[in-house]
Structures are given as structure tokens and as C-alpha cells.
Amino acid sequence: MTNVLDRIKAYKLEEVAARKAQRPLAEVEAAAKSASPVRDFEGALRRKVSEGRYALIAEVKKASPSKGLIRADFEPADLAAQYERGGATCLSVLTDAPSFQGHEDYLVAARSAVSLPVLRKDFMYDPWQVAEARALGADCILIIMASVSESQATELEDAARAWGMSALIEVHDGQELDRALMLQSGLIGINNRNLKTFETSLDVTRDLGARVGGERLLVSESGMATREDLAKLSGYGARTFLIGESLMRKEDVEAATRNLLSDPVPA
């Protein structure tokens, strides 16, 4: 029986094959080389955390498979600018169309409107996609351990490093975390949403957070909506958060972002 992530992987592999056939790697790499310089995604997060503050990766997200349309008045550039004014450290922009109503143009528009580093939020399987992400201006890619093998993860991470980009390695359980810790990236994302069932629980960060440790930066993803959520998760080692839906549903995204980040990190 297939789950949501399996269905996404199936169509994404077909989509990537079709795009590769239409646009050779050499052409994509040429575009990537002429793209605007990489912004230091991981460095921006680490600097904010070193200042004793929460670091927010604010997500520009129109829809999701589980919730459907999240925001009808969807203007990526305006939303990105509101996030930046509200105090976000980085952005995440959905580019997957079938499940999230995303588009590559959304990333281009959002990044052009701000000075923040930007994560391309998509399902990555092929180094061709990494080159494409850089050509679009992305500064970071997402590697979802539940959907790739160890060799694929390494290949994607190596490609990101070759382009000077950061890589956020996403996990949901202990086995995935073990595999992620074999990679080199300094960013480990613990997704509180199970991408196979789309059920969400902040206990996932509680259960796995202490195992990240060392030099890695723990990013708690999904399911957060309040200042109290951030304070709770900080007790599990998280100072960096990826949040989209709860902010996307607010009429005033800038004010909502500022309010979410208004409390100091608990001592």
C-alpha cells in the first residue's frame, strides 16, 4: 500500500526525467554559474542562534496535500518581504506543483524581494535538480532521508557543496537520524510531521533532539504555531524552526512573524 510520500516520489521521478530530457545538464549548469551569488543559509541561522535568539526559516507555502489551499491571496514577493520585516532569518519556498501548488517562479520572486537566504523546498532525487535549484537562485536544498537511499543523499549533498549551497537533512525517526548523521551537513531538520501519514506531533523533536548534539544545528519543522511552542521545543535543544502554515494563515504575516519571535529564548 502506497503512502503520500511514495506517491509524491513516483510523480517527481517522472517529472525530473521529463525536465532533464527538455533541458540538458550543461544548460542548467551554465544558468547556475551565472545565477546571483549564494547567500550563506547555514551561516545566517548559526549567527542568529549565537546571538541568543530564535532563528526562523519562514515558509512561503500556498497549499499542502493534507490541508489543501492555505492562502488564496498568494503573492510570494510580498510574503517574503513581510517575513523579512517580521524578523525571519531565512526563507523556504515550495516549488512542487502537484501536491503544494508551488512553482519555481515563486522562489525567484521571493528571493528577489529580500536579502535573506532561501531554501528550495522540494523533493530532491537527482543532482540535476540541485543545479536547477542554484540556477533559480536557491541557497539551500532539502534532502528527505525517508525518500532517498544513503548513496542518493550523499550524491545530493555533494552536489550542493559543489555549488556552495547548504543542505538541510530532514528526518522523522531514529533510523533516519542515524543515516543523516553519517552525512556532512551541519543542518539536521527534525520534521514533526510524518510525511507518510501527515500526522504531526511535537514529541518527535522531543524524542530525537538530544541525539543531534555536537556541531550540528537542530531545526524543528512543522506543527508550531505559538511562542509557547518555540519555548517548549527550545527545551529539547531546538533554537531554529521551519514554520509555514500557521503564519501563512495570518492576515498580517509581518505582525504574526514578529509576535512569534518576540519572546527571549528561555535560559
Q: Is position 221 annotated as part of the catalytic site?
A: yes
222 an active-site residue? Answer: yes
Does the active-site annotation cover 201?
no
Give the list of residues 6+ apart from residue 106 with CB closer than 8 angstroms, or none. Answer: 60, 62, 76, 93, 94, 95
80/253 Cα distance (integer angstroms): 9
- DSSP percent split of the chain into helix, strand, coil, nearest 5: 45, 15, 35
- Beta strands 68-69 and 63-64, pairing class: antiparallel
Set 48, 121, 155, 220: catalytic member: 121
170 catalytic? Reply is yes
Q: Is 59 considered catalytic here?
A: yes
Which residue type does 125 have?
Answer: Y
* Catalytic site includes residue 191: yes
Q: Which residue bears the cell 517529472?
A: 15
Listed residue (107, 114, 70, 108) closest to 92, CA to CA: 107
DSSP 8-state code for residue 115 = S
From the list 166, 185, 191, 194, the catalytic residue is 191
Among residues 68, 70, 132, 66, the alpha carbon closest in space to that of 95 is found at: 132
Catalytic residue among 104, 176, 221, 254: 221
Catalytic option among 12, 48, 61, 62: 61
Selected catalytic residue, list 222, 234, 245, 254:
222
Active site residue 234: no
- Helix pair 253-260, 227-234: axis angle to 10 deg: 40
Instruction: Please tell me which residue in 132, 155, 170, 245 is annotated as part of the active site.
Output: 170
Given 42, 59, 245, 254, the catalytic residue: 59
CA dist 142 → 78, 138, 145, 251 (Å):
24, 11, 10, 28
Q: Which residues are catalytic?
A: 59, 61, 121, 170, 191, 221-222
